[in-house]
Structure 1
Amino acid sequence: MFRDTSMDYYTPDEVRELWNRNRSFSDEELLEMDEVEFRARVRERSHHTLEIQVYQAAYRNKKLSSKQADYTKRLLRIWKERGLSEELPEYRYASFLIDAAEKLVNGDPVDLSPYKPTPVTEQMEKDFFTILKERRSVREFTDEEVPDEIIDKILDAGLWAAHGCNVQSIRYVVVREKNEPGLFKGSDVPGGPVHLVICQDMRCYRANCFTPVRNQLLDAGAAGQNIVLAAHATGLEGVWLTFPNQGFCDRLREKFQLPDYIRLVTYVDVGYGDQTPHPPLRGSVKDAVLGRF
């Protein structure tokens, strides 16, 4: 069941049906499942059936069922039977959650202090808002080559964006203009030296198939926001762009032989900026807030 519209919502009964379906796969079905979908299910199920409950128990002294980790344990058993690496991030995180759940069930404390974020200093706060407010949409670039390591750092920032239910759908196509001149012709701005195409692997959403399309697109939008901020933080500039028509997407899909389950959402051009735009002034918070209750 899938509705290709961002405005549709499922009824409570439909949600329950889909939720139960997520948990009703046999071992055989899980063993034969596409690897991308299976790994997404491990992430999503660990999140919904264990992660939330573990943190509630750890921080709110709520009793944790002795069976709370059973489903995640089953998924990791299937993981091993499939021969997947135990060094992959979802396996390692699910294992951490199982270990934490077992400690809580036994009445033992779970030490989460090693994962506490670095305290934000006054200088860190100032630097963050400087990056946030001094980032510009830059449409002219120098010919200076952008190193791959900087591109990878920026793409990594996109992967660390918030993502609904932790299904982690974000994928990229990186295109240097010098290698594919004119491929992005048709945009309303001059092409940058590096095009970062933000895609989504739709197989991941089979793990949570009642996610509204608007939420799926917000997942890509969150990645895009991290990317433009990271570009500025690493000394590059960029501009967030959109595909003007379906033909543009079809041209990229054909060129890079992208399968149907890869959705092209948006792209960001980055490079070393060759202009300094005036800040596009914003309205006040007072005018933006519709009410405080």
Structure 2
Amino acid sequence: MKAERRMTMSDKINFAAEFNKSKEELLAMDEVEFRARFRERCHHTLEIQLYSAAYRGKPLNPKQTKTTELFMEVWQERGMPETLPEYVFASRLLSFAQKLVRGETLDLSPYEVSPLSPSELSGFERTVYERRSVREWSARKVPDDIIEKVLKAGLWAAHACNLQSIRYLVMREEHCPGLFRGSDIPGGPLHVVVLQDMRVYKANPVMPESNQLLDAGAAGQNLVLAAHAYGLGACWLTFTSEEMKQRIRDYVNLPEYMRMTTYVDMGYPDQSPYPPQRISVDEAVYYWK
């Protein structure tokens, strides 16, 4: 395996140029990239430092808010809705930061996550341990509201730098018969293709491709778990050929900047497979001290 090259001084200069965009550059930027940069910069220049200061009982350096304030100013000048999630989130973080800058104590107790109750834990464990790949489905149609809940779970998966690259193709087999042919299974009544809008990764050009693929993997895991929790059966699949991917891409006229990473077939199950057994934790742990 080729060793990763160490960052040189010239790399560091380019690094700064990539992340510290001027107001003029931000105003002229494609909206998708701008929103991704807003999320990434807010995360790396304010959110992390804010919580570090809050939980250590220290004031926040006033300069720490400058980047987020610049993005919010540009956001307003671009005339973008202030109800979009990035702006709402940044506004709340900025209000927290201003308290810390003034030396006030920040009360984050309303956002504390409570441990799951025994009954909730039982439901969680059932979802994790009873989930299995299903390859036969009934003709029962999956309602749109259930599909939306499953898709939302995928969007709430962990994502590097809060870039939020995940997008979807949602296609019912009855509306595109045979389009997904080539898989080693008959194919489910509902196909959910996990896409990645590669434009958002311009916001962090030094991110390894492996991290990008992990973003899609995390979303895929949430999809199959959510499908199981809502009574569906799902099978996480891969595209068997470039021809298959191109056929689907051409069918929906998918832009080149959308990467087709993986897909999940799902529907109401018409089989109950015996759960595959897993190796023990003892066997899996290489080192624990």
- Give me the TM-score of the superposition, normalised by structure 1: 0.95
Distance 1:119 1:289, change over 3 A: closer
Q: State the distance in 2 between where 1:242 and 1:250 align.
A: 14
1:145 aligned residue: 141
Structure 2 unmatched runs, 5+: none
Q: After the TM superposition, which of the residue ranges 36-45 and 113-122 deviates more from structure 2?
A: 113-122
2:157 aligned residue: 161
Any residues of structure 2 matched to 1:192-271 within 5 Å, and which?
192-271=188-267
Would you say the 8 A contact 2:53–2:59 is kept in 1?
Answer: yes
2:102 is the alignment partner of 1:106: yes
Deviation at residue 258 of structure 1 after TM alignment? 0.8
Summarize deviations over 1:47-93 as a string: whole Å, max 9, x none: 00000000000001234211100111001000000000000000011
Partner SS for 2:100: helix
- The sequence identity of aligned pairs, in percent, is 54
Task: Kindly provide the amino acid, as one letter, of the partner of residue 56 in structure 2.
Answer: R
Summarize deviations over 1:173-219 as a string: whole Å, max 9, x none: 00100000000000011110000000000000000111111110000
Q: State the distance in 1 between where 2:233 and 2:24 align.
A: 49
Distance 1:8 1:77, change over 3 A: farther
Alignment RMSD: 1.5
2:172 is the alignment partner of 1:189: no
Q: State the distance in 2 between where 1:15 and 1:109 align.
A: 39
Task: Kindly provide the amino acid, as one letter, of the partner of residue 59 in structure 1.
Answer: Y
Partner SS for 1:39: helix
Partner SS for 2:194: strand
Summarize deviations over 1:213-266 as a string: whole Å, max 9, x none: 111000000000000000000011110000011111111111111111100000
Aligned length: 288
- Give me the TM-score of the superposition, normalised by structure 2: 0.96
2:37 is the alignment partner of 1:38: no
Would you say the 8 A contact 1:31–1:82 is kept in 2?
Answer: yes
Would you say the 8 A contact 2:171–2:191 is kept in 1?
Answer: yes
Task: Kindly provide the amino acid, as one letter, of the partner of residue 284 in structure 2.
Answer: A
Deviation at residue 24 of structure 1 after TM alignment? 3.0
Distance 1:8 1:170, change over 3 A: farther
Structure 1 unmatched runs, 5+: 1-5
Distance 1:53 1:197, change over 3 A: same
1:3 aligned residue: none
Q: State the distance in 2 between where 1:64 and 1:8 align.
A: 38
